[in-house]
């Protein structure tokens, strides 16, 4: 909440009232109407007059909810913050803030013109489904080169999470370029479910507009953890609901919607060899077999079913966290075996050489004893040579 207020103040700081605003039907636009008279006690009421209705702000320094409107008379900064959620084309057009000193004299008026964004209002609301512990990416469309923001609707105002200037908070991160921006959420939890908005702060004018409303649904998924050793075969199973599509698959990756399919029951020609699945439709049970495990098989796998309907996303039934252990151990073992073998061979060679030397020496000694009796320096023994 605090960061929200802070950002807004930064955006609005020292502002003149903007004259032109742009937003989307079913989105929202936040703007301010400033007033010039420093004696705030003069303003008894503020009216916001819009094409379809007139609203009155009577409270100070607190939010007032007037249906589709939110008003906040900020006496410190001497302005009225206004949030409008246009629901009909008629909501666009001329907007006026009228600051009344009393009931008779003419009010001080700030006037604004509200227009629709041309290019960016196509997908104003969509649902996004994901699963607990998954990674997921929300795609926000916005053509242009301006400040983007992403916030979570708390049912009243939208609490800021990310913007072009704050691209990550640890679990949420934002990437953007001229064609749009993506919000990536890692390790999704059920608390992340809710309504989010993708929005922009245009370069012209001190206001901001939320363009897309995203209803994030988070489904629980069971997670299986398995450790296996290199070379082994792993078998596990996932059961699925009655209405699941027939197109069962296994894919690998953190994000279940962009993960790489490794095996698909409707595509028997898919090059796998390593993975196989069997669908027991009576029991609604898929049995998965992963053969001849290698270290690179470590990772996240999803068991799911796809639909031919483009609009419906794949359904997922469980997640496997596979660790192919023993890979390092195997490497260490192999090294140890190699070193041990080398040592044994060396010892054998040494033994052979020693015994040969000893034999030779003994024979030489015998001949010296016989032929050269005056030998002074007797040959060293092989054992000394070895030391
Ligand atoms: C405040 O003053 C500025 C310039 O002095 C003027 O443009 C603006 O319209 C005034 N605002 C109101 C609400 O009278
Ligand atoms: C502000 O306006 C009120 C009522 O009009 C008046 O009583 C008060 O003296 C004014 N204060 C200042 C600082 O001008
Ligand atoms: C989003 O889901 C809600 C129910 O959770 C549904 O009422 C609504 O029609 C869905 N919207 C879209 C655009 O699919
Ligand atoms: C990032 O923001 C979201 C939404 O406000 C919040 O749930 C999450 O805990 C934040 N992540 C971190 C690491 O603070
Ligand atoms: C957003 O994600 C989509 C799909 O993964 C990708 O095609 C697009 O390039 C991404 N855009 C940005 C700005 O990262
Ligand atoms: C936006 O970035 C994505 C990848 O991050 C890239 O595929 C896409 O072409 C980029 N679009 C533009 C207009 O630069
Ligand atoms: C998912 O699990 C959490 C706790 O593990 C629980 O609070 C929540 O109600 C579950 N949601 C659904 C839709 O089953
Ligand atoms: C699924 O099949 C496996 C064997 O293939 C079995 O062990 C498991 O109990 C079955 N699960 C269910 C829910 O039927």
> Can you give the CATH number for the domain in which 210 is found?
2.60.40.10
Q: Classify residue 249: in a domain, yes or no.
A: yes
- Nearest CA owner, ligand 7 atom 10: 220
- At 378 the pLDDT is 39
H-helix or E-strand spanning residue 175? strand 172-177
144 and 81 fall within a common domain: no
Q: Does residue 292 surpass a pLDDT of 60?
A: yes
Q: 31-53 pLDDT, tens per residue?
A: 999 888 766 666 778 999 999 99
244 and 200 fall within a common domain: no
- 290: nearest Cα among 224, 236, 225: 236
Cβ-in-10-Å burial (0-12, 13-18, 19+) of 223 comes to middle
CB 187 within 8 A of CB 133: yes
Please say which residue of 171, 198, 219 terminates a domain: 219
Q: Classify residue 27: in a domain, yes or no.
A: yes
Q: Classify residue 313: in a domain, yes or no.
A: yes
- At 377 the pLDDT is 40
33 lines ligand 1 (CB under 6 A): no
CB 170 within 8 A of CB 186: no
Q: Does residue 387 surpass a pLDDT of 70?
A: no
CA distance 233 to 368: 69
Residue 182 CA, ligand 5 centroid: distance in Å: 6
Model-wide pTM > 0.75: yes
Q: Does residue 157 surpass a pLDDT of 90?
A: no
- 255: nearest Cα among 183, 148, 166, 181: 183
The mean per-residue pLDDT over the stretch 317-341 comes to 72
What's the number of domains the chain is made of? 3
**pLDDT band (50, 70, 90) for residue 310:** low
Q: Does residue 270 surpass a pLDDT of 90?
A: no
**pLDDT band (50, 70, 90) for residue 106:** confident
130 and 109 fall within a common domain: no
Q: Measured on CA atoms in the order 69, 123, 119, 177, is the torsion positive or negative?
A: positive
CA distance 326 to 171: 31
With H, G, I as helix, E, B as strand and everything else as coil, classify residue 274: coil
187 and 232 fall within a common domain: no
CB 182 within 8 A of CB 139: yes
Cβ atoms within 10 Å of 189's Cβ, excluding its own: 11
Among the bound ligands, the one closest to the CA of 37: 1
Q: Classify residue 269: in a domain, yes or no.
A: yes
Atom number, ligand 7, closest to the C-alpha of residue 219: 13
191 lines ligand 7 (CB under 6 A): no
257 and 304 fall within a common domain: yes
169 lines ligand 4 (CB under 6 A): yes
CB 135 within 8 A of CB 254: yes
**pLDDT band (50, 70, 90) for residue 332:** low
271 and 294 fall within a common domain: yes
Q: Does residue 329 surpass a pLDDT of 80?
A: no
Domain of 313? 222-328
Q: Classify residue 374: in a domain, yes or no.
A: no
Instruction: Show the 3-state SS of 75-96.
Output: CCCCEEEEEECCCCHHHCEEEE
With H, G, I as helix, E, B as strand and everything else as coil, classify residue 60: coil
Instruction: Supply 120's token pair.
Output: 């960016």
Residue 192 CA, ligand 7 centroid: distance in Å: 12
Q: Classify residue 379: in a domain, yes or no.
A: no
Q: Classify residue 369: in a domain, yes or no.
A: no
CA distance 113 to 125: 24
CA distance 346 to 352: 10
CB 248 within 8 A of CB 261: no
242 and 314 fall within a common domain: yes
Among the bound ligands, the one closest to the CA of 187: 4
Least confident residue range of 14-28, 42-56, 308-322:
14-28
Q: Classify residue 356: in a domain, yes or no.
A: no
Number of H helices, E strands in the chain: 3, 25
Q: What angle do CA 82, 88, 94 make, to 5 degrees?
A: 50
Residue 38 CA, ligand 1 centroid: distance in Å: 12
The label of the residue with tokens 């207020």 reads 5
- At 333 the pLDDT is 59
Least confident residue range of 86-90, 328-332, 353-357:
328-332
């Amino acid at each position: 909440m605090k960061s929200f207020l802070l950002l807004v103040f930064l955006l609005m700081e020292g502002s003149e009232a903007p004259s032109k605003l742009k937003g989307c039907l079913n989105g929202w636009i936040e703007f301010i109407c400033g007033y010039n008279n420093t004696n705030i006690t003069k303003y008894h009421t503020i009216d916001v007059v819009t094409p379809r209705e007139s609203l009155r702000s009577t409270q100070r320094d607190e939010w007032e909810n007037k249906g589709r409107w939110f008003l906040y008379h900020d006496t410190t900064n001497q302005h009225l913050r206004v949030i409008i959620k246009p629901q009909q084309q008629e909501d666009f057009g001329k907007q006026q803030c009228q600051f009344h000193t009393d009931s008779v004299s003419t009010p001080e008026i700030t006037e604004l013109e509200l227009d629709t964004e041309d290019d960016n209002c196509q997908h104003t609301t969509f649902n996004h489904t994901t699963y607990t512990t998954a990674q997921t990416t929300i795609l926000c469309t916005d053509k242009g080169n301006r400040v983007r923001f992403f916030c979570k609707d708390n049912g009243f105002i939208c609490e800021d999470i990310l913007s072009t200037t704050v691209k990550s908070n640890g679990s949420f991160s934002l990437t953007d370029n001229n064609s749009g921006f993506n919000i990536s959420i890692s390790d999704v939890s059920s608390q992340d479910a809710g309504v989010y908005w993708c929005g922009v702060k245009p370069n012209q004018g001190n206001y901001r507009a939320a363009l897309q409303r995203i209803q994030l649904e988070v489904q629980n998924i069971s997670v299986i953890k398995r450790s296996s050793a290199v070379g082994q075969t792993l078998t596990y199973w996932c059961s699925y609901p009655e209405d699941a599509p027939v197109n069962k698959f296994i894919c690998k990756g953190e994000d279940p919607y962009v993960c790489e399919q490794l095996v698909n029951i409707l595509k028997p020609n898919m090059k796998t060899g390593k993975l196989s699945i069997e669908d027991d439709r009576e029991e609604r049970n898929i049995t998965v077999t992963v053969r001849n495990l290698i270290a690179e098989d470590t990772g996240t796998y999803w068991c799911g079913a796809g639909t031919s309907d483009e609009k419906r996303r794949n359904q997922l039934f469980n997640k496997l966290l596979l660790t192919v252990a023993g890979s390092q151990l195997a490497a260490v073992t192999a090294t140890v075996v190699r070193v041990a073998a080398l040592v044994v061979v060396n010892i054998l060679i040494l033994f052979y050489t020693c015994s040969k030397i000893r034999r030779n020496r003994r024979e030489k000694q015998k001949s010296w004893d016989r032929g050269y009796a005056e030998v002074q320096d007797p040959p060293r023994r092989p054992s000394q040579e070895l030391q």
